[in-house]
Amino acid sequence: MEKFELDILGCGSATPTTLHNPSSQVLNVREKLFMIDCGEGTQLQFRRSKLRFGRLNYIFISHLHGDHCFGLIGLISTLALLGRTGDLTIFSVAGLEDVLRTEIDFFCRDNPFRVKVETFDPKRSEVIYDDRSVSVKTIPLLHRVPCGGFLFQEKQKEAHLLPEMIKFYNVPIRELARIKQGADYITEDGVLIANNRLTKPAEPARSYAYCSDTAYNENIIPIIEGVDLLYHEATFADVDAMRAKQTGHSTAVQAAQIAKMAHVKKLMLGHFSARYVDNQILLDEASKIFPNTILANEGLREKL
């Protein structure tokens, strides 16, 4: 099975700690790397995770709080030092390009590659990226500033041919493409050979949803319904639910409620407040509602 795996580079919230880095992660889809948020220190975490800078072509920024984008200019500078020449595309809410362009013009005036910023509307759910392997759709989130999450949906692969059956029925090469796409085969004698005798189904397409930063928001449930993995912020424990509401964040309990209602397969908690020395309290609270819950942590590589 081809790669569809998530590397956590940072899962802390705004206040720096020695326990967690600011928000950033990388999704590897069939050896294409997609970065989601880029907090301070992301490039160091990227190297520690032994990811390849040359495979990173797309970055998705959820919103313009520093703990989600302060690492961009450092990463861009490093990519230039490494000799990058290909375009780097950043998807973001409005406002990033004005700030980033000033930084690039000052610190990276001889940048050998083009940085393109594509703006999305955080109030709408729409496809902002699409290729042969995956599509990316935005998820409107509730925060103190415009903010959007991201749904990564792998494209369903064609069925696998059964070589022994293809040979047995003497299927011509010209028919193979149609059969892989689901067509039956009719022999020269007019006998219909059902597609399921010639193929076996491909592995199910996988999906991943990133929802940070956000207050409790049931409106996202239809968008993330049934995803294989949901990363949902859990900045606060239930005792601090009022603080979560005031700051536009979620508790671990609320994240678990969303996961349960959306029938996701697995929940990963992240964006932890610096006030908690041990995030086990968040895991314990969420697991009571949604048992298949795990904690994000720097260096974690989750295979879907």
What are the catalytic residues? 67
Instruction: Please provide residue 135's backbone torsions phi and psi, each rounded to the nearest 5 degrees.
Output: -120, 150
Contact 256, 267 (CB under 8 A): yes
Sign of CA dihedral 304, 67, 19, 238: negative
Q: How far is residue 225's CA from residue 262's CA, in Å, rounded to a whole number?
A: 5
Q: How far is residue 206's CA from residue 153's CA, in Å, rounded to a whole number?
A: 6
Q: Among candidates 245, 227, 226, 225, which has minimal Cα distance to 235?
A: 245
- From the number of C-beta atoms within 10 Å of its C-beta (0-12, 13-18, 19+), residue 85 rates as exposed
Q: How far is residue 138's CA from residue 151's CA, in Å, rounded to a whole number?
A: 6
Alpha-carbon distance values, 57 to 20, 91, 111, 114, 218 (Å): 25, 11, 15, 11, 32
| Residues found in the chain | 304
